[in-house]
Amino acid sequence: MILAGSSRAIAAVLAPDEIRLLAEVGMMAANLGQAGDAKAIFEGLRVFRPAESFVYIGLALARMGTGAHMEAARLLQEEGLRARPGDEEILAIMALALSLAGRHAEAGRIATSLLEQPGPASPARRMAEAMASKKSALPVGSMATRTAGAQQQTGQVSVEGRGASHGSRSSSGVAQQ
């Protein structure tokens, strides 16, 4: 019997390859507009990997696919960044959600803040560069697909957060309504 507080026992139920496969299926569902299926997959994965960025990104992409961009941004701010403070991928997708919601100034502040933190080149940073320079608002699936692909190639399921600070507004810069 698995007890609710036994995260090791829960995590041992699925092998890392099985987690990756489910995450890929969830991302495909989100990219294909099957938001309900994507949400169900990522809610399930949250039980197994509550501290991983891909869980919150997948949940956000499912919401963004239905046009709920602010809901996606709030989820990433309130849950994703709590689980993974300063995570570049979460911040980049949050900036995208805000941009798609028409909150371009907030998206730009988050993108600029992400770029001010030290770190190597990454899909999240390239996306932030595009948003900070207002060159484009990338389609929802493009960042998710590249991010998931990069994680699969390196064998990683998530990227370690950088602990970035985002001023006095909140840890992410998303203004509360």
What is the 8-class DSSP label of residue 165? -
The structure tokens listed for 148 are 């998931």
The per-residue pLDDT of the chain, averaged, comes to: 78
* H or E element at residue 42: helix 35-48
Contact in structure between 139 and 124 (CB atoms under 8 Å): no
Contact in structure between 63 and 157 (CB atoms under 8 Å): no
Phi, psi of 155, rounded to the nearest 5 degrees = 80, 5
* Burial label, 46 (beta-carbon count in 10 A; 0-12, 13-18, 19+): middle
- Fold that domain 7-154 belongs to in CATH: 1.25.40
Residue ranges covered by each domain of the chain: 7-154
pLDDT of 99 over the 90 cut: yes
Give the CA angle between residues 176, 159, 144 to the nearest 5°.
Answer: 70
Cβ within 8 Å of residue 145, ≥6 positions away: 27, 31
Contact in structure between 62 and 42 (CB atoms under 8 Å): yes
For residue range 144-175, list pLDDT tens digits in order: 444 444 443 333 433 223 333 333 334 444 54
Q: Quick one: average pLDDT of 95-103?
A: 95
For residue range 82-96, list pLDDT tens digits in order: 999 999 999 999 999
Q: Quick one: average pLDDT of 25-43?
A: 95
Cβ within 8 Å of residue 83, ≥6 positions away: 50, 51, 52, 53, 55, 56
Cβ within 8 Å of residue 50, ≥6 positions away: 7, 83
pLDDT of 54 over the 50 cut: yes
Q: Quick one: average pLDDT of 25-34?
A: 95
pLDDT > 70: what percent of the chain? 68
pLDDT of residue 8: 58
pLDDT band, very low/low/confident/very high, at 131 (cuts 50, 70, 90): confident
More confident residue, 110 or 137: 110
Contact in structure between 144 and 63 (CB atoms under 8 Å): no
d(CA 15, CA 130): 36
